Amino acid sequence: MMKIRFSKPRTLYGQLLVSFICIIVLFSLFNGLLFSFFQSRLQKDVVANNHRALIDVSERYETHIAQLKALLNMIYNDTTVREFNRQLRSYGADEANYLSAYRISNMLRADAYNPLFYLEGIIVHYGIGDFAVDQDGSSSASDMFGRAYASPAYSHSFWRDQLSSPSFLTLFPARRFLPSSDVANEPVIMPISLKLPGEEYQVIALLNVDKAMSAFAGKAADQSIAIADNDGQMLYQNGLPEGDIPVFNNGSYHLLHDQFYWFRTTTADGLSYYATIPYATASAELRQWFWWSAAVFVCTLLLATAVSHYFSRRIKKPVDRLLAAAAGKSSRLHPAAGSGIREYEAIESRILHLMKEREEVHGRMKRHRSILTSYGYMSRIKNINEDLGEWKEFMTTETDGSYDLILYELKFRGDAMARLNIRPEHASLAVREHIRTAVERYCPGSHTFQLEHHQILTVVRDGRSEPISAMLAEVKELLDQSSAYCAVTIAVSSRFEHASQFGHAYEQVRSWAGQALPKEETQLITAPRELPETPRLSEKEADKLASSLQAGQAEAAVGVIDELLERMRQSRAAVRQYHEVAEGLATMLTDELRHLGNEAEPQVGWTVRSIRRDLAVCHTVGEYRSQLARLAETVAVALSMRTVSGEDPVISRVMHSLETGFGSDISLEQVADDLNMSAAYLSTYIKEKTGTNFIDHLNGLRMAKAKELLSETARQVSDIAREVGYLNVTSFNRLFKKTTGISPTEYRRLRQVDAEGKTG
């Protein structure tokens, strides 16, 4: 089968056109991704806006129900209403003063006809005498519920049975009622009844739920809305699709079901609100935006292709004339009329001169390129001072050929150098001279540089493996004799062929030198190795280390450190990994001293700083263990002295945080972060030390402050709730009642009564 092969266009016009098309395709892909992103965002916005609209409706409806509850409670506890109930109970229906019923009707009229309540009526139903009063008058309950407010679902017997119900405030499913006034359409009414236990009368509000929902809808006017109580009973629905309400996943507030978007929200009173919109409605805007974007994209693509063709042709013509000049077919070219490209004219005037000088320039660049490149890389690697002249001469005389780089990293032992009274920079010069002598004897023509006081670099030109190996063996034997004063790592690079690779060669040996093991002897590294993952303390080990230090148990803390160092030794970790882990442990240990605050002894800080300086120059596992053990013992002793004084620093910090921050959104995780502990460990620690968990301490402080404010101020309960750290007044009321057995309002009233009794 013949294969179709696509070759890259070799003409300027073809490449320009392909380049333009590639740019067009790139921007087209970008626009496609952008369109996909905005389409997703727009769809999310549609869902979020509809859910927000449902939340707004639920909040307005919840507020309205709360207002009706307050209204019913006020009517229920009205003196006239209660007095008339007393008369019925005491004298019977025949002897009661029905002038009170007239007053009750007058009182109900103002609220029943208030357009902001959306009520069809308010009824006070007395069980004794089976008597009912509404805003228009009074009659027997059977007449009131059989004629004035007739509904198959809510008959006279239904309301009579409700008088024996133990419920307090009840919302009943909305049904159609025969209104008391002459209205053509039967309104959809949701009855709301209030009855206190032990009483023989109830107050019923007939909410015109259609009017209320129309007023509350706002942005949700296009939605079909339903309301259900905590038992799943449907209280109201308007225009929902046929069938059962779909099941929402935990935490989900919307889903797509049978070509409808369903939304759900639940309010604090336990009511669930559902809304639906057709999927076609939600996606109409997306489809419109898609077709507009597609039309604009196609037009842009066609226009861009035409412009690409025009500019490719326009650029190609002057280039054809320049090629003719370069080929010697013309000593002077005249641009075509209307080209307008002055740069091409300038190139044309110089092209013949450049052709004559080309060979000369090429030769000059060939002679100097390697020198300039080598010197440039070396200058960027380090700032060479005293060897600069020798380095220039070395690179100028030997510009070609292969070479090897050898890096010597010196790590002087501070205590040993102090005993010899020799500065590290002076000692490194002596080491360099010994190395230089050995290198020149085995590899003549090589050069050794002093980069830093701890770094020496040797460049071996055209070296053979045997002399280099012999030289390294002698240097290693020499350096091993001084291992008590200086640990040396020797890294030998791969063979490189050009001076321009000098920078890469240096980076290679520097990286290999960092893979050295923590040993006393001089180490020779000629190939890289895969370093293990740097071990870390687990959360359990970190908690054990912190608790051991807090308890003054230095041996237990050192045991945790030893286990970590042993894991590093078994995994053959490099010295730089030991240094990284040691710095992390030192920081963790030092942070524990923060618990002492300003009470830490000055000598503790001096000792810690001295140990950390010694830790920075460690080179063996034993040295790291010794310094970390010293640091752990110092910290443990300092903390144990605080513990002996009788005050637990951790509990003190926790209680201080609670006392100063109980009015904010404080949490166990936040306090644990401040103490550099895990939340689980701190929770167990507080329970063990105090016998009470963190949240009980916090709630206790908040409730104590709330009682104080309720007793001594006249501020609103909601303001007091926010001041003691509760953003939701419902949560505050619930916890206050759980703690004291009564509500905040009742607590304030009882305190006022006690105060008046004491003053009286």
Alpha-carbon torsion, ordered 332, 335, 340, 346, to 10 deg: -20
pLDDT of residue 70: 93
- Structure confidence by residue, pLDDT tens digits, 541-577: 888 888 777 777 778 888 888 888 888 888 888 888 8
Given a contact cutoff of 8 angstroms between Cβ atoms, the answer to whether 187 and 177 are in contact is yes
8-state DSSP, 440: H
Q: Who contacts 430 (Cβ-Cβ below 8 Å, separation ≥6)? A: none
Q: Is the pLDDT of residue 732 over 50?
A: yes
State the average pLDDT over residues 648-659: 78
Cα(203)–Cα(211) distance, rounded to whole angstroms? 21
Structure-token match 């350096």, residue found: 479
Cβ atoms within 10 Å, residue 603: 10
What's phi and psi for 756, nearest 5 deg?
Answer: -65, -35
Please give the structure tokens belonging to residue 422: 């020799």
3-state secondary structure 256-289: EECCEEEEEEECCCCCEEEEEEEHHHHHHHHHHH
The ranges assigned to domains in the chain are: 77-202, 374-525, 539-647, 653-759
Tokens of 301: 């693509």
pLDDT digits (tens, 9 = 90+) for 333-351: 454 444 556 666 666 666 6
> Which residues is 487 bridged to in the sheet?
411
Q: How confident is the model at residue 8 (pLDDT cuts 50, 70, 90)?
A: low
Mean pLDDT: which of 125-134, 286-295, 605-614 is highest?
125-134
Task: Check pLDDT > 80 for residue 760.
Answer: no
Give 230-287 pLDDT, tens digit per residue: 887 888 887 776 666 777 777 667 777 776 777 788 888 778 888 887 766 666 666 6
Q: What is the pLDDT of residue 173?
A: 92
- Rg value, the chain, Cα: 45
The mean pLDDT of 162-174, rounded to a whole number, is: 86
The answer, yes or no, to whether residue 140 has pLDDT greater than 80, is: yes
Most confident option among 133-147, 380-394, 448-462? 133-147
- What amino acid is encoded at 659 in this protein? E
pLDDT at 595: 63
The answer to whether residue 716 scores a pLDDT higher than 80 is yes
pLDDT for 207 beyond 70: yes
CATH topology assigned to domain 374-525: Alpha-Beta Plaits (3.30.70)
Dig out the tokens for 259 from the structure.
């070509």
Average pLDDT, stretch 578-602? 74
Residue 389 has pLDDT above 60, yes or no: no
- Least confident window among 22-26, 194-198, 384-388: 384-388
Share of the chain above pLDDT 90, in %: 5
Predicted local distance difference test score (pLDDT) of residue 404: 83
Confidence category of residue 366, pLDDT binned at 50, 70, 90: low
Report the Cα–Cα distance between both ends of the chain, in Å, rounded: 114
Adjacency order of strands within the sheet including 403-412: 447-452, 455-461, 403-412, 486-492, 523-525
pLDDT value for 383: 44
Give the pLDDT score at 35. 66
CA atoms within 13 A on the CB side of 676: 17
pLDDT of res. 393? 54
Q: Confirm if 703 and 726 have CB atoms less than 8 A apart.
A: no
| pLDDT higher than 70, residue 321 | no
| Residues 457/404, Cβ–Cβ less than 8 Å | no
Q: 539-647 with 653-759: one CATH topology?
A: no
**Is residue 610 within a helix (H) or strand (E), and if so which, with residue range?**
helix 602-615
Does 250 or 527 have the greater pLDDT score? 527
CATH superfamily of 653-759: Homeodomain-like (1.10.10.60)
The secondary structure element, H or E, covering residue 455 is strand 455-461
Q: Say what the pLDDT of residue 377 is.
A: 44
Indicate whether 127 pLDDT > 90. no
Amino acid 251: pLDDT: 66
539-647: which CATH number, 1.20.272, 3.30.40, 1.10.357, 3.30.70? 1.20.272
Select, from the ranges 11-15, 71-75, 176-180, 475-479, the one with the highest average predicted confidence (pLDDT).
71-75
Q: Which residue has 């409706």 as its token pair?
A: 57
Can you give the pLDDT at residue 295? 81
